[in-house]
Amino acid sequence: MNPPQSKQRSLPPVAPGEGATLDQWLSWLESIHPTEIDLGLDRVLVVLRRLFRKNPTARVITVAGTNGKGSTVATLEALLLAAGRRTGAYTSPHLQKYNERIRIDGVDVDDATLISAFEKVEAARGSVTLTYFEFGTLAAFVALDEFGVQDWILEVGLGGRLDAVNVIDADLAIITSIDIDHVAFLGDNREVIGFEKAGILRPGIPAVVADEDPPRSVLQQAAAQKVALVRAGHEYTIQEVVTGPGESAVTLHVQDDSYRLPSGPLPVQSVAAAVMALRSLEPEMDQAAIEAALVRVKAPGRFERLGYKPDLYVDVGHNPHAAKWLSARLQALKTKGQKVHAVYAALEDKDVEGVAHAMAPAVDYWFLAGLDVHRGLGSEALRARLESAPLLHTSTHDTVVDAIAAAKAGAETQDIIIVFGSFFTVAGARRLLL
């Protein structure tokens, strides 16, 4: 006889046992919470206090923003390493391997480190349900603590105020840019979104704001908490002078100091914000050392060149703000006679119409690809959503791989191919081309 309906409950999934692989752990993590995204700090705080009796002794730098977070983390990580500091970085999402999310002294952690951290979080979790991201964030804290690094550089996953990363107080905060994305979770205007991003601020701690026109909500939160803001366009300025096709000289001006910044591939706003953070953290580091470190910064998937003749770039940009930057970059690169071939694939909850409008001035041929992942858009569905966009010469392809092949077949050696629209899009391209 079946038990009464009220008592029929599915048993909670059982954690992987001894000897489980990283893939087994990651599959299990996807099953332990009823929703993929569940913003809030209560659950994470409970488990955090079981894992750590006191706050970490390392310096904590928290990075929030709509775009440019990963570039800022990578730049600051390189600068701190050049200053002789031991660093731990936590970023998300990953491109190809989960291990990319946690770096110790610039190197991705191995499977054994991740599995050990997962085991410790699971032992502390008890009956508390955690999302995939929350569990992974706590595991990152465990790994960074056990390696004893001096600086934790933490990238917010979504928003700021209610993001799992925000359970640890920052010693310095960075807000990169503020624009509209993740509307269902963060709101549909910059003021509301700015309030969420400003949630990483703490009373009296310094903060760098890379957005030259931040929402009033950010400024109000900073004033209320007596945060000393270092603002782009105020405490520092960026000067960019075009020196040739696709080339420019970029200078960061701070009071009486000036720094030469690379003109690419990373957004200069993110690079400049990282330099300003470093000036606060390591004021003794000299200009020459800073400039030398900046030249060596790499951030996979951020306007990354993966091919030549034709030049092929990939970029994880997936919202109109990021697309506007990418479009400007491509237009600066284009010379007379060059064509830009765009391979575009996106998730269904993104503003694909806004992205297409931002990219349209730079693109001559569009190769719309399907994404066979959770929330991925098929190529025909993507085309249907873009019917009103001013796109030239469009074709549809089942996969990113198929679209890249078609773009290569149609491009001349002097042309440019850009593959963009999602971390999944770029991951597919990197698997193919690397």
pLDDT in tens, 18-37: 999 999 999 999 888 767 77
pLDDT of amino acid 187: 74
The Cα–Cα gap between 13 and 345 comes to: 34
- Cβ contacts of 54 within 8 Å, gap of 6 or more: none
Question: Which residue type occupies 127?
Answer: S
The three-class DSSP label of residue 218 is: helix
Quick one: what percent of the chain has pLDDT higher than 70?
Answer: 96
Radius of gyration (Cα) for the chain, nearest Å? 22
Q: What is the pLDDT of residues 163-216, one digit of tens each?
A: 999 999 999 999 999 986 766 667 778 999 999 999 999 999 999 999 999 999
| HSE of 90, CA atoms in CB hemisphere, 13 A | 27
Instruction: Please state, rounded to an integer, the average pLDDT across all residues of the chain.
Output: 93
The Cα–Cα gap between 12 and 17 comes to: 15
The Cα–Cα gap between 206 and 265 comes to: 28
Give me the residue spans of the domains in the chain: 22-295, 304-433
At residue 329 the predicted structure's pLDDT band, cuts being 50, 70 and 90, is: very high
The Cα–Cα gap between 86 and 80 comes to: 8
> 304-433 — its CATH code?
3.90.190.20
Q: What is the pLDDT of residues 87-107, one digit of tens each?
A: 999 999 999 999 999 999 999
Indicate if 304-433 has the same CATH topology as 22-295. Answer: no
| HSE of 134, CA atoms in CB hemisphere, 13 A | 27
The three-class DSSP label of residue 255 is: coil
For 19, counting Cβ atoms within 10 Å of its Cβ (0-12 exposed, 13-18 middle, 19+ buried), the class is exposed
Does the structure show a pLDDT above 50 at 7?
A: no
> 22-295 — its CATH code?
3.40.1190.10
The Cα–Cα gap between 352 and 342 comes to: 14
| Cross-strand pairs, 251 | 239, 260
Does the structure show a pLDDT above 60 at 75?
A: yes
